Amino acid sequence: MKKIYWLAACCLLAAGFASCSDDDDNKGNNNNPPTTGDLGIQFPVTSVTGYDNSYFRYENGRLASGYSDGDPFTISQNPPAIRISYESDNESYVENYTDIRLNASGYATFANYSATDTYEGETEHYSGTANMQYDQDGHITQKSVSIREGNFFEDSYTISYTWQNGNLKRIRIDETYREYDETERYVEIYEYTYAAPTENPNSGIYLYDMWYATYDFMWYAGLFGKTTRNIPVGMTYTYTNMYDDGTTSENSYDYTINTQYNDNGSVARMEYRQLGSSYADEVFVYGYDGMIPDAAQPRIRKKTADEGIFHKGPAFRRQR
């Protein structure tokens, strides 16, 4: 199975300097990503189980290594760099993020991406860049990503994030994907509703929907800025496919989001349920005990977009 996680990782790391903010956090460079304390995280998450199974290890208040969906990763500092690897009987895969530029708060503003994927004797090389912007409060507002493999494959997308009173209100993804002579265009929109400002506080998790085409650990490392202040109680998801003949198809779904807390106030569990459904579409359970397995967990085969909204973007529809 072809992995192609790069889309996410790239967008995750990239960022352009925010032109709309005069805040010092968007000027200058820093050699280190933020600590969990800098991000306002009360309880550092050490495991996330659900769509993916991830385990995180922190050093001096910063996420340094672990496993993301069974793949080991390391985050180096001075200079900042990231490496993700995967190996099986018929495939080896390595991703590297270099030339990572951080702003004064330690949020990534640019990164180069490269990956080598050898599958059943066939090797492919991917390269790309990503740019990101933030607002004056340290929230990501835009990612722009471009990735290609020779003249055969190219994927570019822009993700826009809208914030209000510290809460994530909207995510819009505009993506164009070309493979050989076929081109696909998509628009995906996530819109969130919240309860009263004092309800459903966020102890330090990043919403799964923020991870579009990205590794979860990059968000928990703080490379993409601060997370939403509260946990939403509802979400509307809209997916639009734009065809070459000028026609479009659109689907929209409404979800409730139920959050459970531990006795100390940390988020224990989140459940997404489509309105009218008798079962949860996705459940995420968060751990804080610091226990990390000695070896990577078995890989979980990814869903395709046709199986629901919880996917890593069109890249995962191209797995073989």
For 253-264, give the DSSP string: EEEEEEEEE-TT
Number of Cβ within 10 Å of residue 291's Cβ equals: 9
Task: State percent of the chain over pLDDT 70.
Answer: 81
Q: Which of 124-133, 162-171, 207-216 is predicted most confidently?
A: 162-171
Report the pLDDT value the prediction gives residue 45, as an integer from 0 to 100: 95
Average pLDDT of span 204-228 = 91
Please, are residues 167 and 230 in contact by the beta-carbon 8 Å criterion? yes
Report the pLDDT value the prediction gives residue 212, as an integer from 0 to 100: 78
Kindly tell me if the per-residue pLDDT of 204 is higher than 90: yes
Kindly tell me if the per-residue pLDDT of 226 is higher than 90: yes
Which comes out higher in pLDDT, residue 244 or 43?
43
Report the pLDDT value the prediction gives residue 150, as an integer from 0 to 100: 77
Average pLDDT of span 138-142 = 97
Confidence grade of residue 2 (pLDDT, cut at 50, 70, 90): very low
Which comes out higher in pLDDT, residue 247 or 265?
265
Mean per-residue pLDDT over the chain, rounded? 81
Distance CA 219, CA 13 (A): 9
Please, are residues 30 and 134 in contact by the beta-carbon 8 Å criterion? no
Report the pLDDT value the prediction gives residue 292, as an integer from 0 to 100: 58
Confidence grade of residue 285 (pLDDT, cut at 50, 70, 90): very high
Distance CA 221, CA 230 (A): 19
Which comes out higher in pLDDT, residue 85 or 303?
85
Predicted TM-score (pTM) of this structure: 0.82
CATH number of 6-318: 2.40.160.150
With a CB cutoff of 8 Å and minimum separation 6, the contacts of 60 are 35
Report the pLDDT value the prediction gives residue 126, as an integer from 0 to 100: 87
Task: State percent of the chain over pLDDT 90.
Answer: 50
Residue spans per domain, the chain: 6-318
- Give the rounded distance of the alpha carbon of 20 from its chain centre: 23
Confidence grade of residue 71 (pLDDT, cut at 50, 70, 90): confident
Report the pLDDT value the prediction gives residue 311, as an integer from 0 to 100: 31
Q: Which of 116-125, 202-211, 306-315 is predicted most confidently?
A: 202-211
Kindly tell me if the per-residue pLDDT of 294 is higher than 80: no
Picking from 70-84, 158-172, 242-256, 302-316, which range would have the lowest pLDDT averaged per residue? Answer: 302-316
Which comes out higher in pLDDT, residue 156 or 256?
256
Q: Which residue has the tokens 């995967």?
A: 86
Report the pLDDT value the prediction gives residue 317, as an integer from 0 to 100: 29
- Report the half-sphere exposure of 295 (CA within 13 A, side-chain side): 3
Picking from 174-183, 218-227, 245-254, 275-284, which range would have the lowest pLDDT averaged per residue? Answer: 174-183
